[in-house]
Copies of this chain bind each other. A is one copy, B any other.
Amino acid sequence: MKKLSHLDKSGKARMVDVSGKTATRREAVARGSISMKKTTLALIRANQIAKGDVLGTARIAAIMAAKRTPELIPLCHPLPIASVSIDFVIDEVSESISIESRVKVTGQTGVEMEALTAVSAAALTIYDMCKAVDKGMVISDVMLIEKTGGKSGPFRRSGAS
């Protein structure tokens, strides 16, 4: 039976020991979405056309949260992140905004958690900025899409476009 790497033999939490690993180039892509009322989406779209501050603010929040991942996720390693980029797609049909993050590092361990944390922070920031008009927004489908680099080899979510 497989074991959870973040627990020691007696079931207690630990940071995985990466001291024997070589620093290599690694990359991770994560996605998620936030659904909302059609009218909320229209307000964001209107602002996007004007100044872009809802999505612009969410992008900055995501980049800054990626850098602080080891402060938030107890067993994550601190890493000298080399790049974070965030993209949004407004989807009128599903009445939602899709969020995609891409994070790169040269380090002893990967940046999956940084990518997932960035997506979560972007979604939470959109919620915060629109909650006065729409408290029913829902954050969903936050998932890892792809990772490359590292000993465990590449991962690509099946079915991801």
Q: Do the beta carbons of B77 and A18 come within 8 Å of each other?
A: no
A72 within 8 A of B: yes
Q: Known: A63-B75, A74-B60, A136-B143. Contact between A53 and B13, CB under 8 A?
A: yes
Q: Do the beta carbons of B56 and A80 come within 8 Å of each other?
A: no
What 1/0 mask marks residues of chain A from 2 to 27 whose CB sits below 8 Å from any chain B CB? 11111110111111111101000101
Copies in the complex: 6
Contacts of A152 in B (CB 8 A): 132
Q: Which residue from chain B places its CB closest to the CB of A73 in the assembled complex? A: B128
Q: Which of B8, B117, B129 contacts A4 (CB 8 A)?
A: B129
- Interface residues, chain A, CB within 8 Å of chain B? 1-8, 10-19, 21, 25, 27, 32, 39, 43-44, 47, 50-54, 56-57, 59-61, 63-65, 67-68, 70-86, 104-108, 112-113, 116-117, 120-121, 123-125, 127-133, 135-144, 147, 152, 155, 157
